[in-house]
Amino acid sequence: MSSIVVAKKDFQDAMRSRVLIALTVVFALFTAGGSFLASRASSLFGAGGGDSTVDLILALQTPASFLVPVIALVVGYGAIAGERESGSLKFLLGLPHRRRDVVLGKVLGRTAVVAVSILIGFAVGLLGLFAFVGEVAPGTYVLFTLVTVLFGFVYVCIGVGLSSMTRSTTRAAVGAFGLIIFFWFLWGVIGQLLLRVIEGEFLVQSYPDWYLAYLSLTPDTAYGSAIGAVLGENQLTMVTNIENIPLVAEPWFGFVLLALWALVPLGLGLLRFDRVDL
């Protein structure tokens, strides 16, 4: 219950952030724009209405993959480090809260903030789909929204975990956004270099299993796999026409990877925060 008390207070404080409001507006605009572009592309191929909802949702996945991590890390990186810098953390721990209650409360409160942002953005996207397409399968859209909230929870755990390991919001921000750059750009570059070293060339006729498994490990790819699992689609086979894929690249395994990306950084942050001298 102590975590819930911390979460409620943190949710109220975080919702006042102007940066968060601005990012939510940007997210809503991107989903509305994605709805329009997806509906135009769908009409070109003769599809439309509720039958094309899966295609439309897969198109909305792209802006969500970029903006949800940014929103979650903006909300999460200062959760603990900011309290330590301002000195309010000692006051908070002076109340009957254990350190783990504070960290878990921060995760719950900030996940609720990110969920509100996602729900607002996707509500705008849903209105856009109705306006541009005219018919959408609501159950499929709800599943997509829930998986995206889970994706935001993962990045909140990463942000709060990093925030728990450092005294400085600057260091926490560098760590959080350095991680985004690593996943978005360096992960693929490292994969290409490994492909060159192990297979002898950058462009191979068929990708080896280890390379497909490597590409599936990031939170962003795991998010795509999880969406594929609930929608009955496999993003990897859709893109590459590969029939047999390794276990790690199976759509359902995306949920396993998302769980690991949430629990490992948060667990490390809790261990560090429990032992540090404030």
61 neighbors 227 (Cβ within 8 angstroms): yes
Instruction: Estimate to the nearest angstrom the gap between the alpha carbon of 74 and the chain centroid.
Output: 12
Q: What is the largest CA-CA distance in the chain?
A: 63
Which pair of tokens denotes residue 19?
């940066």
- Closest by Cα among 72, 64, 74 to 30: 64
pLDDT attached to residue 220: 92
pLDDT attached to residue 50: 46
Residue 134, sorted as left (phi over 0), alpha (psi -120 to 50) or beta, turns out to be left
Residues 6+ away with beta carbon under 8 Å from 203: none
CA distance 211 to 214: 5
CA distance 102 to 109: 10
- Closest by Cα among 87, 80, 163, 155 to 115: 155
Residues in the chain where the model's pLDDT stays below 50: 45, 48-50
pLDDT attached to residue 96: 75
- Give the number of other Cβ atoms within 10 Å of residue 19's Cβ: 10
Which pair of tokens denotes residue 7?
């979460």
56 neighbors 136 (Cβ within 8 angstroms): yes
Helix and strand element counts for the chain (H, E) = 13, 0
Handedness of CA 61, 64, 66, 69 (dihedral sign): negative
pLDDT attached to residue 239: 54
- The answer to whether the pTM exceeds 0.95 is no
Residue 202, sorted as left (phi over 0), alpha (psi -120 to 50) or beta, turns out to be alpha
